[in-house]
Amino acid sequence: MIIPGVDIQQGVKMTGGTEALYRQVLALFRKDAEDRLPMLQMVPEESALPAFITQVHALKSASASLGAADFSAEAARLEAAGKATDLAFIQENLSGFVEHLTALVHGIDAALEAGKTSGGQANATTSDITVLLPLLRELESALKSEKDSEIDRIMNTLNEKPLDSGTKEKLEQISDQVLISEFDEAGKILKNLIHNV
């Protein structure tokens, strides 16, 4: 797997040490970045700087964990400019940042598509999700204590199970929130999932 601008070995190391988990993190980053791109198309007004800072901060942290160090550093510079109310710097650098983010998303896309062709999974599903309850409870306490390695391990185990699309979607949402260190938000989604079991 090759993604321009990404140190894949470093990314695998930082996301739990397996390529399968790394691919999952890549997919989450791609989706998250695609969601954020529209909000980064224009230089923010001064009043919108807090929201802008939040966007670039999340991209900075997530891209660092993928092994995209240069892109993460670029996000850090924009975040610092936002905190310093340096709109001139943002004006000068935002379009290049958006281009680099778009290129990164395309690179991830190509790498994930190439990986898909090497064997698909069976489409069996666990309709009785109550069998997952012990794992979901474990995940709940790992989220409360914000233990990344535990969260990764449990999410891996859950994702190896044949799941129905609704449960899969909720787990993806939880992963998205964990990826950007929003543990409380992830906990809320999980609580909702457990409540509906």
Say how far apart CA 160 and CA 125 lie, in whole Å.
11
pLDDT score at 169: 84
pLDDT score at 102: 94
**Three-class secondary structure of residue 126 per DSSP:** strand
Say how far apart CA 161 and CA 126 lie, in whole Å.
7
pLDDT score at 117: 59
pLDDT score at 131: 67
pLDDT score at 59: 94
C-alpha dihedral sign at 89, 90, 96, 97: positive
pLDDT score at 121: 41
* Cβ pair 10, 67 in contact under 8 A: yes
> Which residue ranges of the chain lie beneath pLDDT 50?
119-127
pLDDT score at 112: 87
pTM, full prediction: 0.60
pLDDT score at 119: 46
